[in-house]
C-alpha cells in the first residue's frame, strides 16, 4: 500500500489563549507511529490535526500534499480516526448497520457493504456481535466495533486515540495483532507502552512539544526517565 506522507509545518494550536502545541514540525512516513506523553501534554491534539479534526492556529498540516484546512472532507476519507470513547463514534442501533453506515456514505452498494462488514467482523473476531444492539455492548466490545467501522472503510492511515483503555487482555492482544497486520499506517496515541514494541517510530510529547522522536525503546526510556524526574 502506498502510504501518504503527513507533514506538520510550524504548527501551533492555541486554545483559550494557551498554546497546547507549540511550533511543531514533523514529517511522518513510517507505518507504525506511537505518540506518548503525560496527561494534557498535547497528544490527542496532535493526533487530531492529522485528519483535520483540529486545525492549526498557526502553521499547516499536509496529508499527501493536501492542506487539512482546505481539504478536510477528502482527507477524512484517507485518514480514519478511532476515538478514545467509542460512544462518540457509534451511530447506528445495530452493530452490522453501524459498520455499514460509513461504507454507505462512501457510495458502496448493498452487496459490497455486506461483504465488507462480514469480512471486517471476522477479521477482528467479533462476528458474534453483528446483530447485537450497539448500546447494550460492553465498553470494550464497543471499542472493537468502533475499530471495525474504521478498518472497514480501508483508509490508508488510521489514527487511534488510546485504543486499548477499555480492552481486556484478550482483546488488547487481539488489537496488537491486528495493528501489526494492518497494511495501513497506524498512528497510536497511548499510555499502554507495551503495544509500541514493534513500532517504527515513537514521539514523546511534553508540554506541547515533541521532546523525543525516535525508535520505540529509546523513546520509552526517555519518557520513563522524564516521568520519574
Ligand X SMILES: Nc1ncnc2c1ncn2[C@@H]1O[C@H](COP(=O)(O)OP(=O)(O)OP(=O)(O)O)[C@@H](O)[C@H]1O
Q: Which stretch binds ligand X (CB under 6 A): 12-20, 95-103, 141-149, 173-181?
A: 12-20
The smaller minimum CB distance to ligand X, of residues 21 and 95, is found at 21
Hey, which residues does 9 pair with through a beta bridge?
A: 60
Enumerate the β-bridge partners of residue 32.
186
C-alpha cell, 222: 526517555
CA–centroid distance for 169 within its chain: 20
Number of H helices and number of E strands within the chain? 7, 10
Q: What grid cell was written down for 134? A: 450497539
Q: How far is the CB of 207 from ligand X (least distance, A)?
A: 9
The count of chain residues that interact with ligand X, using the rule CB under 6 A, is 11
The string of DSSP codes covering 38-52 is STTSSHHHHHHHTTT
- Smallest gap from Cβ 193 to ligand X, in A, equals 13
| Per CB under 6 A, 145 contacts ligand X | no
Give whichever of 37 and 102 is closer to ligand X, judged by the CB atom: 37
Which CB, 44 or 51, lies closer to ligand X?
44
Q: Which is nearer to ligand X, 41 or 126 (CB)?
A: 41
Lay out the site mask for ligand X across 20-59 (x = CB under 6 A, - = otherwise): x----------------x-xxxxxxx--------------
Q: How far is CA 112 from CA 100, 103, 115, 119, in A?
A: 10, 9, 5, 10
Q: Under the rule (CB under 6 A), what is the footprint of ligand X? A: 15-16, 20, 37, 39-45
Amino acid at each position: 500500500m502506498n502510504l501518504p506522507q503527513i507533514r506538520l509545518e510550524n504548527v501551533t494550536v492555541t486554545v483559550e489563549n494557551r498554546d497546547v502545541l507549540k511550533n511543531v514540525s514533523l514529517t511522518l512516513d513510517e507505518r507504525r507511529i506511537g505518540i506518548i506523553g503525560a496527561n494534557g501534554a498535547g497528544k490527542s491534539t496532535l493526533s487530531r490535526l492529522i485528519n483535520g479534526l483540529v486545525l492549526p492556529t498557526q502553521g499547516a498540516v499536509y496529508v499527501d500534499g493536501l492542506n487539512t484546512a482546505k481539504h478536510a472532507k477528502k482527507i477524512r476519507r484517507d485518514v480514519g480516526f478511532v476515538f478514545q470513547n467509542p460512544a462518540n463514534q457509534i451511530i447506528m442501533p445495530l452493530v452490522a448497520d453501524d459498520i455499514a453506515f460509513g461504507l454507505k456514505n462512501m457510495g458502496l452498494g448493498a452487496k459490497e457493504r455486506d461483504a465488507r462488514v462480514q469480512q471486517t467482523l471476522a477479521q477482528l473476531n467479533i462476528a458474534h456481535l453483528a446483530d447485537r444492539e450497539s448500546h447494550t455492548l460492553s465498553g470494550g466490545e464497543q471499542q472493537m466495533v468502533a475499530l471495525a467501522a474504521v478498518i472497514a472503510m480501508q483508509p490508508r492511515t488510521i489514527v487511534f486515540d488510546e485504543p486499548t483503555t477499555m480492552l481486556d487482555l484478550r482483546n488488547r492482544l487481539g488489537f496488537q495483532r491486528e495493528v501489526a497486520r494492518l497494511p495501513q499506517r497506524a498512528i497510536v496515541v497511548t499510555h499502554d507502552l507495551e503495544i509500541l514494541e514493534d513500532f517504527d517510530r515513537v514521539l514523546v510529547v511534553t508540554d506541547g512539544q515533541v521532546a523525543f522522536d525516535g525508535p520505540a525503546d529509546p523513546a520509552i526510556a526517555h519518557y520513563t526517565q522524564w516521568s520519574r524526574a
